[in-house]
Chain A
């Protein structure tokens, strides 16, 4: 069915079967999964808003959240927008922003966010249900028509430091989630739950136990033999999915403790890696570790971008990642083979990548008692906010952070429910801090253009079929650039820092762009 027919039906609270998400390019007026499609593109094929008319964008409506620093990326289906906040979800009329229903779950009094903010990055939708991950580590299924809670499943105990801030990923019959807690000595995992019953289908532990493959990359001596139990490997950013290969791609976070690696000699798999998991079983198909034995908190928790391209004359299925460690990678997504990689931001910790993609680490760049200066800082050259890939331009757009840091190594004692980090950073006095939207050739990572930002941003990027790139800044600007040249074409002062991911959809046939800034969600149209 054509997307226009879906629109004409305009039945509020329409069902979203799996096939609709797989074929989401057929209904560009909707935004049916976190990244807009399973490939992690955050690209809208909509063409109404163009470089020629974008200057005429204006606010259509706004929605105010109860608290600030909103990170939600909405889902929009047939005139209804679904948004989240910590432990809450709402359905809004996409035409006016008026609330249709709201669901909340109390945050337990003794809940603590250890190492991150109380945020939620959005919902997932499948069939007649909306899925929300909560701070206190429950996965909840809501009826899309009423907001009624169909089921809620305890994923883990929040007390030792597990939490959830991410948007779930709904694939065929299953809902996938990951956890936060990499600064609290958790042992991470990716879980899949049956969408109908809420029962767990599988769990992939990101830190292998004794006897499992990968365990040899953790210390074997008696003194540190339990390091894997507190080895980190959080999974707090939504992955991507290839329905043909039935593989889920998920980024894994830092090892624990973050900055003091004395207790965890070895590469510490699967921390700071991308893993490809069988969608039915969670079995590991392959892994690629970007930062072996990380000591800078460079989680590899990013949205993997799936694309196809010729490699030495052969068309291959690939995945691109702009990593927190300042390198851009292209891998074969069927096998995990390293294809290409290069730095896309300032970094001082590696001479480069070898022919298998492993970093050639420069000695003495790890944290020290007196402090070690290194680029990028602990938030990385980019972090959780989404990049965007436009199949039209073949460019990978990433909001890049250019900040160095002084890294300190400190003692780390594990006590459940407290920080288990072993150090941290301090800013370089009078150090330069900047940011940029960079457009990289997706197959090579080569810089095509950049738009400098006044400071490092926390906003994701959206590209569109109309030839635009949208993103935001820490100073509250929401703006549009020409997707081919990076030329600024429009900007709007939102009044608060933009710390979220933009999306695009249609209402009554008109293209809209949505972004949250602090506590306000703005919808723009021509």
Chain B
């Protein structure tokens, strides 16, 4: 075999494995989206618009899942060639990726502001803090700088999906206010600001008030300087969890 032909083959083989985002999107939409949603938001299968996928911690695991499926529910895409599998994998990763961005602040300074402003009084980061509000250990993998900035300034304008602040009025006239932990057709569990759990049968309550668009988190617009805000955003964006 001539040297020229050999190098040509190597090039072709290498090319054949370069993922093509357009190919990945097309295959995803026709073969995966039935269960995972056309935009990866999930359906009968889990959502995939997340930075970390439980069954696919790395790309090799993701390619394996795509090719072989997950018994008993997920069929494998046996019909795809290697390049198509890579392409689908790349597209799936893109669904949950926060595009890298340059943020102006200083993360270390931001961490000090996080402590001094009392954020840890409600949020857990890496095992420290109180768990009244959402855990922030890997918030940087889920939210971009603009989102974090808006939440800090006006939290009620960007509440996480499923988050609900509620007030329960008991038959004895007591009022319990807190974040809904769980709810079904008959019961509700909530957590108050002191971290205490409450469980009520709805039939025993006078009323459950759903405080839609409300949150116990204070708005920090006006109580942070522009530089402090930059630093705090940079700190939160740097929280990537255990990678």
Contact = CB atoms under 8 A, between A and B. Distances in A.
A and B interact physically: yes
Interface of A: 67, 86, 110, 112-115, 117-118, 183, 371, 406, 408, 410-413, 415, 417-419, 421-427, 429-430, 451-454, 473, 475-477, 479, 488, 491, 493
Nearest to B28: A410
A427 B30 contact: no
Contacts of A410: 26, 29-30, 33, 38
A493 B161 CA distance: 25
A423 B79 contact: no
Nearest to B73: A117
A113 B72 contact: yes
Interface string B51-69: 0000000000000000001
Contact of B72 (A67, A421, A453, A475): A67
Contacts of A413: 30
A426 B79 contact: no
Contacts of B203: 488
B20 to A, nearest CB: 16
Secondary structure call for the B interface: loop
Interface of B: 26, 29-31, 33-34, 37-39, 41-44, 69, 72-73, 75-79, 161, 182-187, 203
11 contacts: A86-B72, A112-B69, A115-B34, A117-B72, A371-B38, A424-B33, A426-B37, A429-B161, A454-B183, A488-B186, A493-B187
B72 A183 contact: no
A141 B79 CA distance: 34
A491 B203 CA distance: 11
Contacts of A110: 78
A488 B76 CA distance: 44
Contacts of A417: 78-79
B64 to A, nearest CB: 16
Q: Which of B37, B72, B77, B185 has the most CB of A within 10 A?
A: B185
Given A410-B30, A419-B34, A425-B37, A112 B75 contact: yes
Contact of A419 (B31, B38, B42, B184): B31
A184 to B, nearest CB: 10
Contacts of B44: 117
A188 B161 CA distance: 40
A213 B32 CA distance: 36
Contact of B30 (A412, A430, A488): A412
Given A113-B72, A418-B79, A424 B37 contact: yes
Listed from nearest, the 6 A-B pairs whose CB atoms lie closest are A475-B184, A112-B75, A118-B72, A426-B38, A424-B33, A408-B38
B65 to A, nearest CB: 14
Contacts of A412: 30
A426 B47 CA distance: 11
Contacts of A418: 31, 77, 79
B37 A473 contact: no
Given A427-B42, A454-B184, A493-B187, 9 more contacts: A110-B78, A410-B29, A424-B34, A424-B37, A426-B38, A427-B43, A451-B185, A452-B185, A493-B184
Given A413-B30, A418-B31, A475-B184, A425 B38 contact: yes
A176 to B, nearest CB: 26
Given A410-B29, A454-B184, A112 B76 contact: yes
